Structure 1
Amino acid sequence: MASVFGFVHRAWQIIRPPLQPAKAPDALKFGILGAANVAPYALFLQAKQHPDVVIHAVAARDKNKADAYAKKHGIPVVFGSYQELLDDPSIDAVYIPLPNGLHFEWALKALAGGKHVLLEKPSVSNATEAEALFRSPLLLQGDAPPVILEAFHYKFHPAWLLFMSLLDQPNVARAEAHLAIGGFSDTKDIRFNYELAGGALMDLTYTPSVVRAIFGAEPTQCTRCDVQTLVNVGGSEEIDAKFDAEYTFPNGGTGVARGNLRAPMREMLRPLPFATAVHKPEVISNHPPSGGGVSLPDGQEELRTRTVTLHNFIASSLWHRIDIIDEHVIRKTDGTNEPLKKWTVRESKKAYTLRDAGNNIVDSERWESKEYWLSYKYQLDAFVDRVRGRVPVAWVDGEDSIAQMRAVDMAYLKAGLKVRPTSRYYSPPVAALP
C-alpha cells in the first residue's frame, strides 16, 4: 500500500510540482524550434522548477500554430520561422525537438548564432552528420563557446547513476535493453518517414545507448539485426517499426538492444523498459559459503555470477527497481568443476533522489533533488550547469553522440536497410591541397 501511495503522490507532484522558485534576473532565455508535443513535459514543466531557465519564445513554420501553442503554454514571444528565432539576440539557448531529419541543419544554425543547444535524440540522421556537428569549429568559438547536449535524459536520473555504480564494466558478459511503446499505427507519422530519418532504431535509440553505456565501450560489430519493416508514406520500404539488434564488444561481451514502436499493450507493460547486465562468473577466493563463517577447504572454490537489472529505466521517477541477483556455486577445482553447492542472494535498491544514489556517486550536499523530479529535470540542471561553467552531475559529450550514431548505422546496415539520409544542408569537408 505504501508503494502505491508513493507512486500516486509522485505522479501528482510530477504534473503539479509544489516548488516553483522565482526566476533569477539573468535566467537563460530558451527558444523552442517547433510546436512539438514533447516539449511541455521535457522542458516547460522542468523550467518552472528551475530558477535559471525561462521559456521565452517559440517558432513554427505555421505562425497560427505557433500562436496557439504559445497561448496554451504561456510563451510570450512567437516567431513565424526558425531563423527569426535564432536571429533574436535576447535568446540564450534553443531546444530542438524537430523531426530527426531537421536536427543537423538547425543545430548547426543555432550554434552559428551563438546559441546553446539542447537537442532531442537522436541527435542527427547518421554518423556522418554526427561527426560534422559535434566536431564543428563552431563549438570552439570565443572564450565561452556554445554548449550542445543530446537529450538522453535517462542518463541523468539518480536510479541510472546508482545502477551504473553497481556494474563492473570490464567484466560484463551480456547487456540487454528493451523498450516498447504503442499507438503509432498511422504510417504517415513522421516517425515512419525515411526522408525525415524515421524508424524504430532512430526513435527508440535509447536501447543501443543503454548497452553501450553498460559496457562503457563501443561495439566492434553488429552481428545480427532483425527488423519488422513497413511501407510508409512515399512508398519507402526502409522503415523499421521493430528491431532486435545484437552487438559484440571489445571484451567479448554481447549487447542486445530491442525496440518496438507498434507494440500491443501487453508488450508495453510486460516487461517494462529494462536495462540488465550479466557479469562473467567471478572466483571469490577464501570466501565462506553464505552464513558458513569458515574458509573453503583446499580443492574447492566459490564462483559468483552477478546480474543487475534496472526496471523502468526510461521513466524512473514514476517507479523503478534495481535488482541485484548473485548466483553462487561452490565447485571442485580438480578439473571436473563438479558443483557441490548452489544458492542465490537477492537484493533490491531504489534511488528517487541524488541523496538516495549515495555520496560515493554524487556530491549530494551540492545537488539537492526531489523524489518527483523527472529525468528531464536532472538533464536541464546539467545543461544549465555546463552553460554556467559548472561541472554537471552527468553529461553526454559529443564523442558519445557520434559513437551512438555509428552504432545505429551499423545496425541498419546489418539489417539490410539504408542508413538514414544525410541532410542537404551537409557540406563535405574540402580536402586540403597538396
Structure 2
Amino acid sequence: MAMVLQLSTFVTQYLTASAHEIKDKSPTALRFGVLSTAMINPAAIIHPSETHGDVLLYGVASREYNKARSYAKKYGFSKAYGSYEELLNDADVDAVYIPLPNGMHAEWAIKSLEKGKHVLLEKPLTANADEAKHVFKAAKKAGKVCLEAFHWRFHPAAHVVDALLSSGRYGPVLSTHSRMTTPKGSVPKNNIRWKYELAGGSLMDMSYTISSTRYFLHMPRLEAVNSAAAVPAPHDSRVDAAMNAELTFKSELAPNPVKASIYTDMDRANSYVLIPRVWELPSIQIECENATIYFYNFMMPHLYHYIAITDKKTGHTSYQKHYSFGPKWGTRGESWWSTYRYQLEAFVDKVRGREPVCWIEPEDSVMQMECIDSVYEKSGLGKRKGTSELLREKEKK
C-alpha cells in the first residue's frame, strides 16, 4: 500500500500547499537542491517547502537537462541542472534532498557533504551499516547536518504512542509486531525496488517495520535475529519479495528481552484470490502486560490513522487520533501538516542551530542499518551492497 499512500499524500499536500503556500520567503531562506525528479519529490520536499517560509525550492538535477528544466518549470524551482555534479558545484545550494535508489545513497550523500551541503537523505539511509558510518563520518568532517528521512517519526501521533508506553500505565512491553505490505502487482517489475544492483528488496523499501519497532522500544541495539525467512523475487532470487523475521531486543521499557516480529511484502497475495488487501496499511501492535496498543497507519498518519488501546482485563478498546499538538510539538504545527512537513520543520531547526523538537541521531540510523543487515544475513540473502561496492567487485573480476 506504500505507493497508494504516496499518491494520496501527493493529492492532499497539493491541496493544502495551494491553500497555505507562503510566497514571501525569508531573504535568507534555505536554498534546497533536489537530486533527481523522483516520484516521491512532491510529497517529500516540494509541497512541504511551499508552506515553509524559510525554505526555497532552488534547484533540481536530472541526468537529462531537458527533463530537469521541464520539472523546474512545473514545480517552481529557480534552476535546473543536467547532472547531479553540476547542482553540487553550485555554491548557492545550501542543502540537498536525495531520493535516489538505495544503492546510490551513500555515494551522493558523501559527495554532497564534501561540497558543503546539508543532506536530507531518503530511507533506508544506505545499502548497509558500513556505508552509513562513512556517511556520518563525512557529515562530521564537513560540519553539516545529515538526516535519515524517516518522516513518520516526526508526527504527533507517533509521539503520543511513545508517551503512552513511556508512562508505564500499561506495564512493561512484552512483544511487538510490525507489518507493511503492497498488493500483488502494484509495484511494476521494472521498478527500482526490485533491482538488486540498486539495493532493492521488500525489507529495504519497507524498513519502516524495523524503524517503528525500534522507535517504540526506545531505539535499542538488536540482541538477536531468531529467524528470518525471505520469499525471493521470481525474476531475481537475490531480492526479497517478502520477509518474515523474529527479533529480540532489550528495551528500557521491559525487564525481560522483547520479542519483535516484522513482516514486509511487496507482492502481497490477494484475499480470496481476487481482492487486493488495500486495508493492510503499515501498522504496529505493541503488547504490554496490561493492554495491547495498535497503531494503524503509522507510516502516514496525516492521511488517516487510529491508536487502539485494548485493556486485557476488561477487553474494552478505546481509540485516539492525533493530527497536531502532542507531547513534543505542543501548540507548534498544524493539523494539515504531513509527516514530511513536520520533518522539514525539524530539519530546518537543526540546520539553523536551533534544538529540534525531535530528531534521529546518527547512532540511531547506524543501528537501524545494522539491524537490516543482520536480518538479510540471517535470511541467507546477505546484506545489500551499494552501487560503488558492486562496481569495485565487478572491476576485480
- TM-score where L is the length of structure 2: 0.87
Q: CA deviation at 1:74?
A: 2.1
Distance 2:76 2:388 in 1: 35
- Structure 1 stretches of 4+ moved >6 Å: none
Amino acid in structure 1 at the alignment position of 2:162: M
Q: CA deviation at 1:423?
A: 4.2
Correspondence for 1:346: 317
Indicate which of 243, 262, 268 corresponds to 1:263.
Answer: 268
Contact kept in structure 2, 1:104 and 1:423, CA below 8 Å: no
Amino acid in structure 1 at the alignment position of 2:321: K
Correspondence for 2:257: 252
Correspondence for 2:354: 390
Correspondence for 2:395: none
Change in CA separation of 1:256 and 1:41 when aligned onto 2, cut-off 3 Å: same
Contact kept in structure 2, 1:125 and 1:421, CA below 8 Å: yes
Matches within 5 A, 1:130-209: 130-134=132-136, 136-141=137-142, 145-168=143-166, 171-182=172-183, 183-209=185-211
Q: Which has the higher helix share?
A: 2
Q: CA deviation at 1:37?
A: 0.6
Distance 2:234 2:317 in 1: 46
Q: CA deviation at 1:218?
A: 2.0
Correspondence for 2:3: none
Q: CA deviation at 1:69?
A: 1.8
Contact kept in structure 1, 2:147 and 2:360, CA below 8 Å: yes
Q: CA deviation at 1:195?
A: 1.1
Change in CA separation of 1:123 and 1:72 when aligned onto 2, cut-off 3 Å: same
SS at match of 1:410: helix
Amino acid in structure 2 at the alignment position of 1:76: S
- TM-score where L is the length of structure 1: 0.80
Amino acid in structure 2 at the alignment position of 1:227: A
Distance 2:315 2:347 in 1: 42
Range with greater deviation from structure 2 (177-186 or 389-398): 177-186
Distance 1:417 1:152 in 2: 25
Q: CA deviation at 1:137?
A: 4.7
Distance 1:69 1:103 in 2: 22
Contact kept in structure 2, 1:14 and 1:373, CA below 8 Å: no
Correspondence for 1:75: 77
Question: In the alignment, does 2:23 pair up with 1:34?
Answer: no
Q: CA deviation at 1:138?
A: 4.0
Matches within 5 A, 1:341-420: 343-354=314-325, 357=326, 361-362=327-328, 364-365=330-331, 368-420=332-384
Amino acid in structure 2 at the alignment position of 1:269: V
Query: C-alpha root-mean-square deviation of aligned residues, in Å?
Result: 2.3
Change in CA separation of 1:409 and 1:425 when aligned onto 2, cut-off 3 Å: closer
Q: CA deviation at 1:264?
A: 5.0
Distance 1:112 1:414 in 2: 35
Change in CA separation of 1:71 and 1:178 when aligned onto 2, cut-off 3 Å: same
Indicate which of 213, 216, 221 corresponds to 2:215.
Answer: 213
Q: CA deviation at 1:394?
A: 1.2
Distance 1:195 1:393 in 2: 37
Change in CA separation of 1:311 and 1:115 when aligned onto 2, cut-off 3 Å: same
Contact kept in structure 1, 2:125 and 2:132, CA below 8 Å: yes
1:247-284 Cα offsets, whole Å, 9 max, x none, are 011231111111111235656433322112111x3xxx
Q: CA deviation at 1:190?
A: 1.1
Amino acid in structure 2 at the alignment position of 1:224: S
Amino acid in structure 2 at the alignment position of 1:346: T
Correspondence for 1:226: 229
SS at match of 1:210: helix
Change in CA separation of 1:260 and 1:425 when aligned onto 2, cut-off 3 Å: closer
SS at match of 2:46: helix
Correspondence for 2:51: 49
Amino acid in structure 1 at the alignment position of 2:157: A
Range with greater deviation from structure 2 (153-162 or 70-79): 70-79
**Structure 1: runs of 5+ lacking an equivalent:** 1-7, 282-304, 329-342, 429-434
Contact kept in structure 2, 1:14 and 1:372, CA below 8 Å: no
Amino acid in structure 1 at the alignment position of 2:384: R
1:48-106 Cα offsets, whole Å, 9 max, x none, are 11001111111111222212222222222111111110110000000000011110000
Distance 2:154 2:322 in 1: 12
Correspondence for 1:273: 282
Indicate which of 388, 392, 397 corresponds to 1:424.
Answer: 388
